[in-house]
Chain A
């Protein structure tokens, strides 16, 4: 269809009315004794903002509580103004919110807010990540010992590593528990987020060795490399037992979908 048609022009005018408040379109709207053209248009304009506001509110309840009413309103207005939806589903409308907060002249002064928002989005992303069976705890022992050195892991698609530079997750936890949040402070940490077998999203902090092992397996390394890595942390004598314990815990938690000696591309999902 040619973009010079009156239909296209009318649609451009309507979008301008929603996005920028330009009311040129009112010349083409019929008013009556009940409502004039401006009042009719305003139903769509306020509906647009209300709908997007509701999505931000629903997707980011902890962020909303943390900011309080005034700052939340400031963020919502600024975000709706700056970031129109480019998604078919409202589920994704707030995907660029952490980035917005990171670069907004006001909110960028408080980088832990963008981080806390990113954390909330990671939780949502794990919530509806693809389904995949998880390997049973006994899987490892059932595999012949001779293939163990070549074994690789395939993590569940919901599993993500979230690296934080502030105590944003502790702030999130406090707000969630309706407690006073700690003051923001630089505090590097790494978290594993995943969806458990009951389809609930969980997270927990990952100690340094676990982080390194996850990275290593994500990169496609096998058990031999993982054992060497473990040995550098805990020493040769306890490396094998230490690695086995970690792997059994991961299996129990439902982090592993497959143990394989085939070299297929790993499924890294890392958020920083």
Chain B
């Protein structure tokens, strides 16, 4: 039995704080954006602790800037560690990207060139971070709109190699694979089939904005059919992996997100084997 399988979760958003506490929705766990709770006190912290009493949590960061060529921000890492001590998350994640340089933050998840130099650089930094935090990190693939001419390999080769060298784990964003496959005209199934299943601990699902010639990862729509289809394929390949829905804009009422999460549960129930207890079996079906 895979003890990493938390079930089906949602991103914890300010708009839902009250509803989560009052209605205790059928959500197995919540993911928090770490930076949103790196504050001294007040309402966000109050709700964080109150909700944590009832739900497992994982922490997801957006500004570790693992791929940047500026030094790691040690103060940020210490604050993250303090927050992790408070929240006691099942795990902690950030992105396969860089976010800023020379003290300036773009607040965007900027892609890396897929080169040996970049692998060495980011893998080394992930190892430093893991040592500082005293835990393995989950690394998430990002949506991208550019690729660099000097890239010498595919995104999935780069991702696998970084994760192997850094000995970290993967947060596979199914929507990001879809978005990038459209933007860079690669086959999303090939991406999935190339990912090392032993490293995958979490899935992200989300909506995006489709402009025809390109797709932008906006997290402001429901999950679309092609992404649900890719999720099915991911379940076939990786088995029971903790799955959550990210929604960051045009945020609907909590019950609508719980309904959308039910779609993920139903899809998984149709694909994954069950234990006699009725629980999903966590071993992967296909390797």
Contacts and interface: CB of A to CB of B under 8 A. Distances in A.
A158 B46 CA distance: 15
B108 A47 contact: yes
A15 interface: yes
Contacts of A44: 106, 108, 110, 145-146
B231 to A, nearest CB: 25
Interface residues of A, number: 48
A110 interface: no
A88 B73 contact: yes
Given A7-B69, A44-B108, A129 B148 contact: no
Contact of B76 (A41, A85, A88, A158): A88
Contacts of B69: 1, 3, 5, 7-8, 11
A52 B107 contact: yes
Given A86-B103, A129-B40, A32 B149 contact: no
Interface in B52-103: 63, 68-69, 73, 76, 98, 100-103
Contact of A41 (B68, B103, B146): B146
B38 interface: yes
B147 A30 contact: yes
A51 B107 contact: yes
Nearest to B99: A88
Contacts of A5: 69, 117, 121
Contact of B42 (A19, A41, A131): A131
A7 B151 CA distance: 11
Contacts of A3: 69
Contacts of B40: 128-131, 157
Given A7-B69, A29-B148, A30-B148, A43 B214 contact: yes
In this complex, the interface size class of chain B, counting residues with CB under 8 Å from chain A, is 35 or more
Interface string A3-30: 1011110111011001100000001111
A84 interface: yes
A12 to B, nearest CB: 6
B185 interface: yes
B65 to A, nearest CB: 9
Contact of B146 (A29, A88, A128): A29
A37 B116 CA distance: 23
Given A15-B104, A88-B63, A157 B41 contact: yes
B148 A87 contact: no
A6 B150 contact: yes
Interface in A97-132: 127-132
A130 B40 CA distance: 4
Contact of A199 (B43, B73, B108, B214): B43
Interface in B170-193: 183, 185
B247 to A, nearest CB: 16
Interface string B29-52: 000000110111111111000000
B214 A128 contact: no
B117 A10 contact: no
B36 A89 contact: yes
Given A30-B148, A47-B108, A7 B121 contact: yes
A90 interface: yes
A91 interface: yes
B108 A88 contact: no
Contacts of A52: 107
Contacts of A40: 145-146, 214
Interface string B124-159: 000000000000000000000111111100000000
Name which of A10, A52, A129, A158 has the most chain B CB atoms within 10 A of its CB. Answer: A10
A15 B43 contact: no
A154 interface: no
Contacts of A237: none
Contact of A48 (B42, B43, B101, B106): B106
A34 B146 CA distance: 12
A127 B42 contact: yes
Contact of B213 (A15, A35, A86, A88): A35
16 contacts: A6-B117, A7-B112, A11-B68, A19-B104, A27-B149, A28-B148, A29-B146, A30-B151, A35-B145, A35-B213, A40-B214, A44-B106, A84-B105, A89-B36, A91-B36, A129-B41
Interface of B: 35-36, 38-46, 63, 68-69, 73, 76, 98, 100-108, 110, 112-113, 115, 117-118, 121, 145-151, 183, 185, 213-214, 216
Given A1-B121, A30-B151, 5 more contacts: A10-B148, A12-B101, A89-B36, A128-B45, A131-B46
